[in-house]
Structure 1
Amino acid sequence: MDSNTLLFLIITLLVGGVGGAAVYSFFLNRKAGKSISSHEATVLIERIEKVFKVVMAEGYFTEIYNYENDKNIWNLINDRKKALIIAKAKVLVGYDFSKLKFHPVEGERRIIIDFFPKPEILSIDTDYKFYDIEQGWLNRFQSDDYTAILNEAKQTMNDKAMQSDLPRIAGNQVQLMIFQLAASMNWKIELQLSESNRIMLEEYASYRITEAEIDFLKTEKDK
């Protein structure tokens, strides 16, 4: 067998082997129903900032959000799309101490607080699930619709959290922390706030009266 014949035989075997492997892989994947997906992510850090934010209260919320949208087509057909969204959120409320204004009294172990900031939501960790999605013939959900729904649901969750007792809990917690910390180091804290700032602080320091009736358990002696 000359060299040309041998080279042709080797090339034929290689091509046949590669082709056979490809055919075998195709049928194997088709039989197993295997799907191959590719993922690529790019993380960009825009900026890093130093902050002094302290969490003082943590709350968990569940929101059931009904979305409906009607589209009138030529005043003949009412095309509706709707969805039920259940949102769960973990809300952290606290203070940004960079907004706190104070000054020490020279020659004394005393600090005067001139301005006390409002409690604020430091983060909301949300989880959304869509149920009962119905779409019309022409009035169908688009990517912008889902974005708008999630933004509105998040804003509603934000409002409900600020209307709850979380800000009041945070207000009491932060004052207790500041005064106890100062006392542990033999310092005194005095509040010299403006009238509006004082009223705001009092609002966030007092709890609302709970509108609920409590049935106390009766013991055998009371019966």
Structure 2
Amino acid sequence: MDSSTLFFLIIALIAGGLSGAALNTWLQARKSKKYVSTQEASVLIERIEKVFKVVMAEGYFTEIYNYQNDKNIWNLINDKKKALIIAKAKVLVGYDFGKMKFHRPDGERKLVIDFFPAPEILSIDTDYKFYDIEQGWLNRFQSDDYTAILNEAKQTMNEKAMESDLPRIAGNQVQLMIFQLAASMNWSIEMKLPDGNVALLREFSHYRTLEAEIDSLDGRKE
């Protein structure tokens, strides 16, 4: 084999190797494109509002919610679906001072409150987990079912929070804050609330007896 033939063979081998490497890279890139996913997120701010809301109490709740739906098919088959939902929530109760009405008499270091809002739930942060989900042949869970279940569970959580001692604790806290703040500035507070407002606030001024019932496994109350 002469030198020119050997040189040509070396060039051919190098070119073939480079072509093979390029082909392999192209195939790998094409193959990887099949598994590339693009994620995009858009955050839209609808509006921004100035608020004067103050949290005075927070509570942690756990709710066990049993859901069952029976569907009678042609009066022959009772097709049912059910689920056990355990909901945990952090509830913040306080006051929206934007709803308070007051005035200051001329020349006096005094604040007269004409209307004081009732305590309310300012925020509720919930976490739901579904257990023991059972579905029938035709009566199956749809996305609307989950939405309705979560809305009902959240509504129940709101009601239980307002029936607890959180509003009363918030009421005591806000009175302490207002009168101590006024005293530190040598101001006085005078409450001139209408009867309806007094009656509304009185509902949140006493402890509520906690009543709890435990469902046994056979469905009876213990």
2:181 maps to amino acid: L
Q: Normalised by the size of structure 2, how large is the TM-score?
A: 0.81
1:46 aligned residue? 46
Per the alignment, residue 58 of structure 2 pairs with 58
- Larger mean Cα displacement after TM superposition, 84-93 or 37-46: 37-46
The change in CA–CA distance for 1:76 and 1:95 in structure 2 (over 3 A counts) is same
The 1:13/1:144 distance shift into structure 2, 3 A limit, reads farther
Hey, what's the Cα distance between the residues in 2 that align with 1:36 and 1:69?
42
- Does the 8 A contact of 2:164 with 2:210 survive in 1? no
1:128-166 superposed Cα distances (whole Å, 9 cap, x missing partner): 000000111111111111111101000000000000000
Distance in 1 (CA, whole Å) between partners of 2:210 and 2:70 is 39
- State the secondary structure of the residue aligned to 1:105: coil
State the SS of the aligned residue for 1:204. Answer: coil
Residue 39 of structure 1: how far off its partner (Å): 3.4
1:11-160 matches, within 5 Å, as: 16-17=20-21, 19-21=23-25, 38-160=38-160
Q: Distance in 2 between matches of 1:186 and 1:72?
A: 71
Q: Partners in 2 of 1:210 and 1:79 — Cα distance?
A: 37
1:48 partner amino acid: I
- Work out the CA distance in 1 between the residues paired with 2:160 and 2:26: 59
Deviations 1:29-50 (A, max 9, x none): 9xxxxx8655332211100000
Equivalent-residue separation in structure 1 for 2:155 and 2:96 (angstroms): 20
- Alignment partners' CA distance in 2, 1:207 and 1:138: 48
Equivalent in the alignment of 2:218: none
* Matched AA of 1:58: E
Gaps of 5+ in 1: 30-34, 212-223
Q: Which ranges in structure 2 are unaligned for 5 or more consecutive residues?
A: 5-10, 212-222
Identity %: 74
Structure 1: distance between partners of 2:209 and 2:142:
44
| Distance in 1 between residues matched to 2:18 and 2:119, nearest whole Å | 72
SS at match of 2:42: coil
User: Cα 1:15–1:88, aligned 2, differ >3 Å: closer, same or farther?
Assistant: farther
Helix, strand or coil at the partner of 1:41: coil
